[in-house]
């Protein structure tokens, strides 16, 4: 029976609120609203303000627990599954995704209804961290279907689904899904919230490979909305993508400036994995922008990779950061280090046929060439086969084809280089000129 009267929180109540919020992947802004200001929640979590009974009940409803547990950690009828879920969430944050998945699976076999969404979200995140994307997609889909359309939870699970569909190699499906989800949100006529902006930003990020101009227009609109909303997470997400678009357009100074602004905004949030990922992106941009700051760029990338490992980030995020580091190390002249890392990365993804295997093999082919070793052509052929088989699902196809073309040119294969350059042009959506017919020779004419 729930406690009907006033609750007396102990000194650890704020810590329990923060732990459960972080485990659920929620920001402080997610929990604010009538009866719970951002400042009040912050003081509760840092222990400088004792939460009222009304606040505990409001937070318990948001976090899928009981006011009694938040106040004192007291046992309830659901204390054992709740304890096991909390243990699994800690394991996941500490990088033990396999251990977390086993615990979430066990709890979900006989889970109290009020705890099921929390356990299901944990299992989805564990599956994603282990690159078991089909299972993650199924769990995220169930959670989205159970959420109220247009709500924060609905938008967050929409973002999760678009991301996992992309990582699973179906970017066309991810774009279609994200477009439909954003249109559905706007059709509801609800006020914008940071999770809806993140959904729009996700769509813009996907569209940049298909129609960069449309992606830029969408992100500019979302920046205006985010600036009005004032949410650091929403603004940081929008500026992050704007920095990527600037980098793709060759506006180096703008890309660095926008990334720095995004990092400052994410620093005000609890999204540690996103912040570490963004720092890695900034390091990659810096490595290309300023040769004199190459060592600084590598140090930023190394720190970002360490943070992602410590945070138990999804394998895709960690692998991308390591690929970025290998590429930056090679351009900075650390050829032996780049070659060793590239070989290790390829060994870990060989046979996947994924975007990360494509990136790893391209890095390895380039590192072998720069090192003057044997095998660059063989690795390049494997990377080419992966990219050619992926259709619309391989990320920035144009840039990848350009890298393949340039290396084929250096290796002396003019035919392969020309074919790759034509594919790069086609990937931008531009018309590729047809082959010109060759005139018959004079000897053929006499015949």
Q: What is the pLDDT tens value at each position of the chain, 447 positions in all?
A: 444 456 788 888 888 888 888 777 777 887 887 778 888 888 888 888 888 888 888 888 888 777 888 888 765 556 678 778 888 888 887 778 899 999 999 999 988 888 899 999 999 999 998 889 999 999 999 999 999 999 989 999 999 999 999 888 788 899 999 999 999 999 999 999 989 999 999 999 898 877 888 988 999 999 999 999 888 888 998 999 899 888 877 888 899 999 999 999 988 887 888 899 999 989 988 988 888 888 999 999 999 999 888 877 777 678 788 888 888 888 788 888 888 888 988 888 788 777 778 888 888 898 898 888 889 999 999 999 988 886 444 456 777 888 899 999 999 999 999 988 888 877 765 555 555 555 554 444 544
Where among 269, 300, 320 does a domain terminate? 269
Q: Mention every residue, 6+ apart, whose C-beta is less than 8 A from residue 12.
A: 73
Indicate whether 144 and 254 sit together in one domain: yes
Same domain? For 264 and 138 the reply is yes
Our count of domains for the chain comes to: 4
The answer on 302 and 344 residing in a single domain is no
Residues 286 and 376 in one domain: no
Whether residue 264 is contained in a domain is answered as yes
- My answer on whether 144 and 265 are in the same domain is yes
Q: Is residue 366 part of a domain?
A: yes
Task: Looking at the structure, tell me whether residues 140 and 222 fall in a common domain.
Answer: yes
Report if residue 102 sits inside a domain.
Answer: no
Flag whether 447 is in a domain: no
Residue 365 inside a domain? The answer is: yes
Last residue of a domain, one of 59, 76, 93: 76
Print the SS3 string covering the chain.
CCCCCCCCCCCCHHHHHHHHHHHCCCCHHHHCECCECHHHHHHHHCCCCCCCHHHHHHHHHHHCCCHHHHHHCCCCCCHHHHHHHHHHHHHHHCCCHHHHHHHHHHHHCCCCHHHHHHHHHHHHHHHHHCCCHHHHHHHHHHHHHHCCCCCHHHHHHHHHHHHHHHHCCCHHHHHHHHHHHHHHHHHHCCCCCHHHHHHHHHHHHHHCCCCHHHHHHHHHHHHHHHHHHCCHHHHHHHHHHHHHHHHHCCCHHHHHHHHHHHHHHHCCCCCHHHHHHHHHHHHHHHHHHCHHHHHHHHHHHHHHHHHHHHHCCCHHHHHHHHHHHHHHHHHCCCHHHHHHHHHHHHHHHCCCCCHHHHHHHHHHHHHHHHHCCCCHHHHHHHHHHHHHHCHHHCCCHHHHHHHHHHHHHHCCCHHHHHHHHHHHHHHCCCCCCCCCCCCCCHHHHHC
Distance CA 32, CA 45 (A): 13
CATH of the domain at 211: 1.25.40.10
Q: In which domain, by residue range, is 305 found?
A: 271-331
Same domain, residue pair 187 and 304: no
User: Residue 106 domain-assigned?
Assistant: no
Return the pLDDT at 123: 95
346 occurs within a structural domain: yes
Q: Do 158 and 264 reside in the same domain of the chain?
A: yes
**pLDDT at residue 4, rounded to an integer:** 46
Same domain, 194 and 264: yes
Final residue belonging to a domain, choices 50, 76, 102: 76
Do 292 and 220 fall within a single domain? no
**Does 125 fall in a domain?**
no
How many Å apart are CA 338 and CA 332, to the nearest integer? Answer: 10
Is 326 in the same domain as 240?
no
Please state the separation of Cα 149 from the chain's center in Å. 23
């Amino acid at each position: 029976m729930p406690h009907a009267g006033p609750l007396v929180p102990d000194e650890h109540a704020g810590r329990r609120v923060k732990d459960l919020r972080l485990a659920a992947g929620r920001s402080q802004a997610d929990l604010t609203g009538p009866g719970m200001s951002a400042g009040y929640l912050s003081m509760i979590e840092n222990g400088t303000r004792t939460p009222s009974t009304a606040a505990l009940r409001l937070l318990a409803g948001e976090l899928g627990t009981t006011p009694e547990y938040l106040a004192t950690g007291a046992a309830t009828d659901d204390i054992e599954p709740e304890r096991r879920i909390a243990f699994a969430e800690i394991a996941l944050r500490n990088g033990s995704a396999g251990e977390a998945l086993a615990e979430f699976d066990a709890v979900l076999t006989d889970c109290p209804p009020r705890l099921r969404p929390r356990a299901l979200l944990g299992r989805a995140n564990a599956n994603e961290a282990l690159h078991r994307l089909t299972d993650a997609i199924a769990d995220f889909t169930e959670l989205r279907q159970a959420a109220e359309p247009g709500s924060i939870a609905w938008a967050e699970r929409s973002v999760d689904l678009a991301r996992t569909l992309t990582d699973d190699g179906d970017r066309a499906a991810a774009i279609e899904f994200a477009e439909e989800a954003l249109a559905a949100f706007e059709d509801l006529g609800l006020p914008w919230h940071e999770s809806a902006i993140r959904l729009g930003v996700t769509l813009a990020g996907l569209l940049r490979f298909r129609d960069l101009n449309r992606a830029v227009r969408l992100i500019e609109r979302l920046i205006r909305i985010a600036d009005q909303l004032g949410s650091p997470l929403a603004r940081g997400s929008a500026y992050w993508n704007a920095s990527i678009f600037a980098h793709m357009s060759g506006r180096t100074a703008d890309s660095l400036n926008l990334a720095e602004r995004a990092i400052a905004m994410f620093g005000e949030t609890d999204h540690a994995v996103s912040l570490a990922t963004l720092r890695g992106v900034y390091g990659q941009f810096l490595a290309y922008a300023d040769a004199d700051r190459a060592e600084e760029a590598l140090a930023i990338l190394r720190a970002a990779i360490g943070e992602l490992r410590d945070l138990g980030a999804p394998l895709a995020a960690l692998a991308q950061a390591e690929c970025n580091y290998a590429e930056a190390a090679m351009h900075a002249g650390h050829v032996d280090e780049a070659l060793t890392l590239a070989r290790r990365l390829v060994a870990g993804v060989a046979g996947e046929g994924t975007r990360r295997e494509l990136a790893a093999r391209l890095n390895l082919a380039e590192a072998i060439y720069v090192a003057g070793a044997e095998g660059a052509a063989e690795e390049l052929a494997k990377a080419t086969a992966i990219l050619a088989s992926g259709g619309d699902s391989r990320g920035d196809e144009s840039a990848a084809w350009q890298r393949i073309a340039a290396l084929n040119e250096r290796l002396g294969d003019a035919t392969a280089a020309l074919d790759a350059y034509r594919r790069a042009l086609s990937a931008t959506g531009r018309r590729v000129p047809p082959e010109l017919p060759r005139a018959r020779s004079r000897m053929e004419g006499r015949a």
